[in-house]
């Protein structure tokens, strides 16, 4: 088994180092190899996703990814921006199924901006389609308008599109996941306005015929955004397209108190996966040793479970994270009065210690 370790930019290097520490103490039999990605790769090789990094990723069973991006690259041509690394990996490896759990830990109920009773015990799973939709649809670009409100004006356009097999496979992933948990899927669309999402809804209804034991509901994306803050515990599994999933998963992450706690997995049809925290590279706190490494450590647990077939070790990591929270250790993002504030590496060390004590 081989893991590609791609720390990336900003706090990426700091948090991935902690997850690697945790994996090493498990003493499992796999090889880890690191490579540059994002802005760091652009600086060294002139491209955010160099051939060698892509090849390493393709040849690995799993990828442990930190984060990419920095404001200083905002002026580069789009193909050279750090974000293209993550989009390129998703596309080249066919990582179409993105799992973004939003779980509220009992110890962190007060860290959320929502009332504790709304989020205590929250456990929802957002399944976001990751290789289609307006993110990748062609054509796109800039041109001179020939019609519309201002013919002759400069305009820009993107293409929203989904094919039946793309919707079918992500719907199956969602129904299968729901079967193992609350047995309910909310399919989020904008069928009242968009042709693409009327089709999405029709296909999800077709696929549901094979999953009659799972309850299916449909919700427009604007309403879903509202229900997520009104009654989040009414959701179990949410399945949606690439762009709606991008937006709703950030919203859902805040229900849990801190995006610094949320892992994610992006899988292809052979269970090869990319595992990354749900948050970004946070250049404002990079290098200060204060970033929360738990999302990345929990992503490593997801990696063990989904791509490396090591469910026991995954559970051990999750229990160790639970333990350090019980001990009252908190990075600044989840700190509250009466707990102990720690830095990135102290948090990683505490997880390692909790693992060794099991
Ligand atoms: C995410 C991020 C990415 C996305 C960016 C960095 C390209 O926001 O993983 O949610 O939009 O998918
Ligand atoms: Mg996002």
- 135 a catalytic residue: yes
Q: Which residues surround ligand 2, an ion (CB under 5 A)?
A: 246
Distance in Å, CA 66 to ligand 2 centroid: 14
d(CA 287, CA 36): 17
Residue with the smallest CA separation from ligand 1 atom 8 is: 246
Distance in Å, CA 130 to ligand 1 centroid: 10
Please report the atom of ligand 1 found closest to the CA of residue 250. Answer: 10
Residue with the smallest CA separation from ligand 1 atom 7 is: 83
- Are residue 91 and residue 223 in the same domain, yes or no? no
- Are residue 214 and residue 77 in the same domain, yes or no? no
CATH code for the domain in which residue 223 is found: 3.40.718.10
Q: Give the pocket of ligand 1 (CB within 6 Å).
A: 83, 86-87, 246
Full domain range(s) for residue 213: 98-261
- 105 a catalytic residue: no
- 222 a catalytic residue: yes
Catalytic residue, candidates 250, 323, 341, 353 = 250
- Are residue 88 and residue 168 in the same domain, yes or no? no
- Are residue 10 and residue 142 in the same domain, yes or no? no
Residue with the smallest CA separation from ligand 1 atom 6 is: 83
Please report the atom of ligand 1 found closest to the CA of residue 69. Answer: 6
- 246 a catalytic residue: yes
Residue with the smallest CA separation from ligand 1 atom 2 is: 246
- Are residue 85 and residue 56 in the same domain, yes or no? yes
Ligand 1 pocket: which of 83, 85, 254, 295 to mutate (most atoms <8 Å of CB)?
83
Q: Tally the domains of the chain.
A: 2
Angle at 236 (CA atoms; ends 91, 300), nearest 5 degrees: 50
Give residue 46's region: left, alpha or beta (phi > 0; psi -120 to 50).
Answer: left
Distance in Å, CA 101 to ligand 2 centroid: 14
- Are residue 303 and residue 335 in the same domain, yes or no? yes
- Are residue 204 and residue 350 in the same domain, yes or no? no
Distance in Å, CA 214 to ligand 1 centroid: 29
d(CA 221, CA 16): 33
Q: What is the dihedral of CA 206, 224, 104, 124, to 10 degrees?
A: 0
Over its length of 358 residues, how does the chain's per-residue pLDDT go in tens digits?
Answer: 999 999 999 999 999 999 999 999 998 889 999 999 999 999 999 999 999 999 999 999 999 999 999 999 999 999 999 999 999 999 999 999 999 999 999 899 888 889 999 999 999 999 999 999 999 999 999 999 999 999 999 999 999 999 999 999 999 999 999 999 999 999 999 999 999 999 999 999 999 999 999 999 999 999 999 999 999 999 999 999 999 999 999 999 888 878 889 999 999 999 999 999 988 999 999 999 999 999 999 999 999 999 999 999 999 999 999 999 999 999 999 998 899 999 999 999 999 999 999 9
Contact 61, 32 (CB under 8 A): no
- 230 a catalytic residue: no
Please report the atom of ligand 1 found closest to the CA of residue 276. Answer: 9
d(CA 350, CA 321): 9
- Are residue 117 and residue 218 in the same domain, yes or no? yes
Query: Domain ends where: 243, 261, 279?
Result: 261
Query: Domain ends where: 213, 233, 261?
Result: 261
- Are residue 43 and residue 124 in the same domain, yes or no? no
pLDDT value of position 271: 93
Query: Domain ends where: 261, 277, 301?
Result: 261
- Are residue 304 and residue 226 in the same domain, yes or no? no
- Are residue 67 and residue 188 in the same domain, yes or no? no
Q: Which ligand sits nearest to residue 247's alpha carbon?
A: 2
- Are residue 110 and residue 242 in the same domain, yes or no? yes
pLDDT value of position 11: 97
């Amino acid at each position: 088994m081989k893991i590609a370790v791609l720390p990336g930019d900003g706090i990426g290097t700091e948090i991935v180092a902690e997850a690697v520490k945790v994996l090493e103490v498990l003493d499992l039999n796999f090889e880890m190899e690191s490579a540059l990605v994002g802005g760091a790769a652009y600086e060294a090789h002139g491209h955010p996703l160099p051939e060698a990094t892509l090849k390493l990723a393709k040849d690995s069973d799993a990828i442990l990814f930190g984060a990419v991006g920095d404001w200083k690259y905002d002026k580069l041509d789009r193909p050279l921006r750090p974000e293209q690394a993550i989009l390129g990996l998703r596309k080249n490896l066919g990582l179409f199924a993105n799992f973004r759990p939003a779980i509220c830990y009992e110890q962190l109920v007060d860290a959320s901006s929502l009332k504790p009773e709304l989020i205590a015990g929250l456990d929802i799973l957002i399944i976001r389609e990751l290789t289609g939709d307006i993110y990748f649809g062609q054509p796109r670009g800039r041109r001179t308008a020939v019609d519309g409100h201002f013919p002759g004006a400069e305009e820009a356009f993107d293409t929203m599109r989904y094919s039946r097999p793309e919707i079918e496979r992500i719907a199956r992933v969602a129904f299968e996941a729901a079967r193992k948990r609350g047995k309910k899927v909310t399919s989020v669309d904008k069928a009242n306005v968009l042709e693409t999402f009327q089709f999405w809804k029709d296909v999800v209804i077709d696929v549901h015929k094979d999953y009659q034991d799972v309850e299916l509901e449909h919700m427009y994306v604007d309403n879903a955004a509202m229900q997520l803050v009104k009654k989040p515990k009414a959701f179990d599994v949410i399945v949606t397209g690439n762009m709606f999933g991008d937006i709703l998963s950030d919203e859902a992450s805040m229900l849990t108190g801190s995006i610094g706690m949320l892992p994610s997995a992006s899988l292809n049809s052979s269970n090869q996966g990319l595992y990354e925290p749900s948050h970004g590279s946070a250049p404002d706190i990079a290098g200060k040793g204060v970033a929360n490494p738990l999302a990345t450590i929990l992503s490593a647990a997801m990696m063990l479970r989904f791509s490396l077939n090591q469910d026991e070790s995954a559970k051990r990591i999750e229990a160790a994270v639970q333990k350090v929270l019980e001990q009252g250790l908190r990075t600044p993002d989840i700190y509250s009065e009466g707990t102990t504030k720690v830095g990135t590496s102290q948090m990683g060390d505490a997880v390692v210690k909790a693992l060794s004590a099991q």
